[in-house]
Amino acid sequence: MQYIHRVFKEELTDNQRIALRSMIMSRMPKEEVAQRLGMERQDYFKMIHDARLRLKRRLESDGLFHELAKQTDL
């Protein structure tokens, strides 16, 4: 968990962190998160896409993405 917390802090913007945490931990609908962040739907989805890509690249550079993908069918 410390690793994940560090990667979120180092790789993501504040809005990206808020959005992903809201979706993952609070299971808040994407549209509601976008509205709370004051974003248009398409901008929100682009931001989430970028955040996931940043996380994937970091996991790959740390040598963890392929191992996690095998375990979770990513």
C-beta of residue 13 within 8 angstroms of C-beta of residue 44: no
> What is the Cα–Cα distance from 60 to 70, expressed in whole angstroms?
13
The SS3 of residue 15 is helix
Q: What is the pLDDT of residues 9-68, one digit of tens each?
A: 999 999 999 999 888 888 888 889 999 999 999 999 999 999 999 999 998 898 886 665
> What is the Cα–Cα distance from 44 to 35, expressed in whole angstroms?
9
For residue 71, the tally of other CB atoms under 10 A from its CB is 8
C-beta of residue 59 within 8 angstroms of C-beta of residue 12: no
Q: Model-level pTM greater than 0.85?
A: no
CATH, domain 2-72, list 3.40.50.1970, 1.10.10.10, 3.10.28.10, 3.90.420.10: 1.10.10.10
pLDDT at 1: 83
